[in-house]
Amino acid sequence: MGHAPRKVRIMHSTQQDYSFDQIAQLVASLRKNGWSKDDITKLGQAGNQRSADVRNVLTGTAEVVVKVHVIDLDADPLIPYEGWQVVEHQKGGKIEWSPEKVNLYLSPNQQNGKTIQGHKLWEELQPKIPFNANLLDYIADHPHLFPEEWKVDEQGRTRYIYCHGTKYRDTDGSLYVRCFCWGGGHVQANYYFLGVHWDDQDPAAVPAN
């Protein structure tokens, strides 16, 4: 004789029993669709109203409206450090965010073991109208928008993605371009000196054609 499915008791205002198979099916579905442990924790902590909202979507009495993220590439850029100045800021209008609109570009002189001096790379990139630092700062403020495929390159190394549309000068007169990457479970912002050489770990964010 078979055994009845084991059940776990979840206490609400009214008691309901959920089988382990049901819970396992739910967790498997969430994982398959990219839910992290933190996401599941947030769902559990969402409160009665938000839990009810999720149920309403499932029962067809409500629908999900996907938020559109619009990045203003015409706005003045962030000054990340005291004493820094903006030297160049190539505006790009307002764009509705989609990773398909961004190409992670490597110069031929950054590939196959080659490196290129930063100033030369910056000049080479300008006709491509590279994205400015407003893209970087928007993604840093909305880390869930950072595409999974951007996190590491084909060799499993962290990608440092540069926004050459904005050039900065520090208090010593040195020129820099800012970048962002994924590390420690969040988006990290950094910068690199244009006076050194750049390799294939340092793609530029340019509009996809």
Of 106, 107, 206, whose CA–CA distance to 165 is shortest?
Answer: 206
When pLDDT is cut at 50, 70 and 90, the band that residue 35 belongs to is confident
pLDDT at 5 > cutoff 70: no
High-pLDDT (> 70) share of the chain, %? 90
When pLDDT is cut at 50, 70 and 90, the band that residue 24 belongs to is confident
β-pair type (85-89, 94-96):
unpaired
Average of per-residue pLDDT values in the chain: 88
pLDDT at 209 > cutoff 90: no
Q: Fill in the amino acid letter for 124.
A: E
Q: Please report where in the chains the tokens 């595409």 appear, as a residue.
A: 147
pLDDT digits (tens, 9 = 90+) for 115-167: 999 999 999 999 999 999 999 999 999 999 999 999 999 999 999 999 999 99
Enumerate the domain spans of the chain. 7-59, 70-207
pLDDT digits (tens, 9 = 90+) for 68-86: 899 999 999 999 999 999 9
